[in-house]
């Protein structure tokens, strides 16, 4: 059965990467959430997609140039202000604490491909251990050196390189990064590539699939996971296929 991950939470309907979006995702009954991690000036891991706060909040500036106190003053529902307000940027700790009270799988995407946050890999692994979430976290990144480092630091960690370029061989990528899965933009994945991963028992998770026909198509092909802005929609599609 294809697992459903809410991309930045239920971000199609709620402000992305906020506790509200994660809690709404949980209500849909999907298996997991995906979130993005950056680091503040004072070294705190926070959940936000961009390197800058400009797009998703009422503030300006690089995450790495703002303190946690400054980050916490921002409203992360800025680009959906008509419907929502006062959604703070969560820390990774806050999300992990909430995860302790449910059964969701959490795909933590390390956003260290543009800003090289030194030591981010160790910090995330330490937090996973501290919150005892080892069996429910998938670590992913577009930075494949970071994936290799994660494996070196903890060979038992569930890791997955992400890619969005055509022509990448997913099975080769998984092998060279010592990963147990691959995450790909669905637009660049072919049926033949997915089948070769299936034969090798390497799970493939595809992002960001939002339209029903596409969700149905990939679920029918047996993709391991879909990462979607609309988990409730994906749940309906999957239920219809199962019944
Ligand atoms: O992890 C899958 C997906 O989130 C990667 O792209 O830019 O939405 O973080 P992006
Ligand atoms: Mg992401």
Q: What value of ipTM does the predicted structure carry?
A: 0.99
Q: Does residue 235 surpass a pLDDT of 60?
A: yes
Catalytic residue from among 49, 86, 178, 183: 49
Q: Does any domain span residue 101?
A: yes
Q: Does residue 163 surpass a pLDDT of 60?
A: yes
Q: Is 36 in the pocket of ligand 1 (CB under 6 A)?
A: yes
Nearest-ligand number for the alpha carbon of 32: 1
CA 105 – CA 82 distance, rounded (Å): 30
Residue 74 CA to ligand 1 centre (angstroms): 22
Q: Is 34 in the pocket of ligand 1 (CB under 6 A)?
A: yes
Q: Does residue 77 surpass a pLDDT of 90?
A: no
Tell me the mean pLDDT in the region 79-87: 70
Q: Does residue 83 surpass a pLDDT of 90?
A: no
Q: Does any domain span residue 104?
A: yes
Q: Is 108 in the pocket of ligand 1 (CB under 6 A)?
A: no
- Write down the mean pLDDT value for the chain: 96
Domains contained in the chain, number: 1
Tell me the mean pLDDT in the region 185-205: 97
Q: Does any domain span residue 4?
A: no
Q: Does residue 79 surpass a pLDDT of 80?
A: no
Q: Whose CA is nearest to atom 1 of ligand 1?
A: 109
Q: Whose CA is nearest to atom 7 of ligand 1?
A: 49
Q: Does residue 7 surpass a pLDDT of 80?
A: yes
pLDDT tens figures, 86-131: 899 999 999 999 999 999 999 999 999 999 999 999 999 999 999 9
Tell me the mean pLDDT in the region 59-80: 92
196: left (phi over 0), alpha (psi -120 to 50) or beta: alpha
pLDDT tens figures, 25-37: 999 999 999 999 9
Q: Is 18 in the pocket of ligand 1 (CB under 6 A)?
A: no
pLDDT cut 90: percent of the chain above it? 95
Nearest-ligand number for the alpha carbon of 164: 1
Give the model's confidence band at 80: pLDDT under 50 very low, under 70 low, under 90 confident, else very high: low
- Domain of residue 139: give its range: 13-180
Spell out the residues 6+ positions from residue 51 whose beta carbon is closer than 8 angstroms to its own: 38, 62, 63, 64, 111, 114, 115
pLDDT cut 70: percent of the chain above it? 98
| 36 Cα nearest atom in ligand 1 | 9
Q: Is 87 in the pocket of ligand 1 (CB under 6 A)?
A: no
CA 218 – CA 102 distance, rounded (Å): 27
Q: Does any domain span residue 92?
A: yes
pTM of the model as a whole = 0.97
Spell out the residues 6+ positions from residue 6 whose beta carbon is closer than 8 angstroms to its own: 21, 22, 25, 28, 30, 32, 33, 34, 227, 228, 229, 231
Q: Whose CA is nearest to atom 4 of ligand 1?
A: 7
CA 172 – CA 140 distance, rounded (Å): 16
Q: Does any domain span residue 186?
A: no
What's 140's domain CATH number?
A: 3.20.20.190
Q: Does any domain span residue 176?
A: yes
Q: Does any domain span residue 1?
A: no
pLDDT value of residue 82? 61
Active site residue 183: no
Tell me the mean pLDDT in the region 66-77: 96
Q: Does any domain span residue 228?
A: no
């Amino acid at each position: 059965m294809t697992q459903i991950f809410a991309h930045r939470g239920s971000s199609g309907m709620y402000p992305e990467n906020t506790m509200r979006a994660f809690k709404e995702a949980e209500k849909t009954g999907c298996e997991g959430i995906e979130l993005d991690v950056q680091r503040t000036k004072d070294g705190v891991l926070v959940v936000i997609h961009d390197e800058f706060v400009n797009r998703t909040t009422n503030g300006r500036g690089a995450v790495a140039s703002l303190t946690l106190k400054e980050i916490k003053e921002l409203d992360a529902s800025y680009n959906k202000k008509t419907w929502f307000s006062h959604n703070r940027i969560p820390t990774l700790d806050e999300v992990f604490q909430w995860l302790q009270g449910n059964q969701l799988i959490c795909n933590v995407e390390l956003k260290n491909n543009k800003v090289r946050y030194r030591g981010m890999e160790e910090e995330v692994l330490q937090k996973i251990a501290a919150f005892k979430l080892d069996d429910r976290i998938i670590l992913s990144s577009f930075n494949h050196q970071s994936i290799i480092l994660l494996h070196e630091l903890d060979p038992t960690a569930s890791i997955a390189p992400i890619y969005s370029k055509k022509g990448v061989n997913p099975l080769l990528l998984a092998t060279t990064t010592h990963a147990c899965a691959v995450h790909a933009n669905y637009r660049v994945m072919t049926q033949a590539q997915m089948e070769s991963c299936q034969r090798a028992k390497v799970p493939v998770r595809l992002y960001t699939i939002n339209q029903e026909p596409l969700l149905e198509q990939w679920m029918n092909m047996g993709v391991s996971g879909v990462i979607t802005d609309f988990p409730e929609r994906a749940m309906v599609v999957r239920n219809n296929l199962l019944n």
